[in-house]
Amino acid sequence: MTNFQRARSEEQREIRRQAVLDTTATMLEEMPAGAVSLNELSRRVGLAKSNVLRYFESREAILLELLDRAWRQWIADLPALLDAGIDQAASVERRTEQFAAAVARSLAERRILCDLLSSQAGVLEHNVSAEVAARYKRAAVANVAATATLAGRYLPELGEDAPQLTAAMIMAIGAVWTHAHPSEAMLAAYQADPSLTAFKPDFVTALHDMLATLTAGTIARSSC
């Protein structure tokens, strides 16, 4: 284990915090969020668990910060993908389908983001203080607003309802990811009875369908 000295300055503390975040990010490349443990993280980063908890109050606090990081990176990458995937001269119906398809495809390779989104409300927002919860939620609200701005650029028909759509999109991403990645027991059940596989959707296809329905419905309601 690396022998870290106690950080004496804010700069040193920030270095330690980044080491914890970067090590956890590496773990997420190897395993789902539910498998990340403080014991293994402490071993990899070279700090006693008590020292890790000097910088983050819990495992969930670390993962919430990484969720915000992954979410902001997705938003930064999304404009180029939407530009390439949406014909702004097309009908609103066509743009709705193109928007849903582009968003779904953009998430296909972002396993960590989708995994963390699927865990945020049921797991990650628990075992944290009100201060950490509020800080994360403020970041999430800003991320939803940024996504809404992008959605409105390609679908101005959304009007003032764009934030409601993007908030629903985020919930849909987590839900579809969970159902598209069942447990080992459920996979065994599917193998034993192939008729059950209707309940194991393809992530991109199912997400595309759900986002298209949400978007079309939001536009229809906003025009009422």
For position 197, which CATH number holds?
1.10.357.10
149 and 196 within one domain: yes
pLDDT at 3: 46
Contact 44, 23 (CB under 8 A): yes
> pLDDT digit string (tens) for 91-111?
999 999 999 999 999 999 899
46 and 8 within one domain: yes
> pLDDT digit string (tens) for 151-177?
999 999 999 999 999 999 999 999 999
Which two structure tokens, joined as six digits, stand for 215?
Answer: 């978007």
Cα–Cα distance for residue pair 85/102, rounded to 1 Å: 6
pLDDT at 2: 45
39 and 116 within one domain: no
90 and 127 within one domain: yes
71 and 51 within one domain: no
Cβ neighbours, 10 Å, residue 43: 14
Residue 99 half-sphere exposure, CB side, CA atoms within 13 Å? Answer: 31
150 and 207 within one domain: yes
Contact 128, 60 (CB under 8 A): yes
Structural domains in the chain (count): 2
Contact 194, 173 (CB under 8 A): no
83 and 128 within one domain: yes
76 and 135 within one domain: yes
48-54 contacts at long range (C-beta below 8 A, 24 or more positions apart): 51/4, 51/6, 52/20, 54/16
CATH of the domain at 4: 1.10.10
Cβ neighbours, 10 Å, residue 24: 23
Contact 182, 190 (CB under 8 A): yes
Residue found under tokens 């997705």: 74
CA distances from 153 to 15, 100, 148, 149 (A): 38, 14, 9, 6
Residues spanned by the domain of 40: 1-56
71 and 38 within one domain: no
pTM: 0.90
* Domain termination residue (choose one: 35, 56, 77): 56
Nearest residue to 158 (alpha-carbon basis) of 99, 209, 106 = 99
73 and 158 within one domain: yes
86 and 50 within one domain: no
48 and 69 within one domain: no
pLDDT digit string (tens) for the chain, length 224 residues: 444 455 567 788 898 999 999 999 999 999 999 999 999 999 999 999 999 999 999 999 999 999 999 999 999 999 999 999 999 999 999 999 999 999 999 999 899 999 999 999 999 999 999 999 999 999 999 999 999 999 999 999 999 999 999 999 999 999 999 999 988 999 999 899 988 887 788 999 999 999 999 999 999 998 77
Question: Mean pLDDT over all residues of the chain?
Answer: 93
Provide the terminal-to-terminal Cα distance of the chain, rounded to the nearest Å.
63
CA distances from 66 to 51, 73, 118, 224 (A): 19, 11, 14, 39
Cα–Cα distance for residue pair 217/57, rounded to 1 Å: 41
* Domain termination residue (choose one: 36, 56, 76): 56
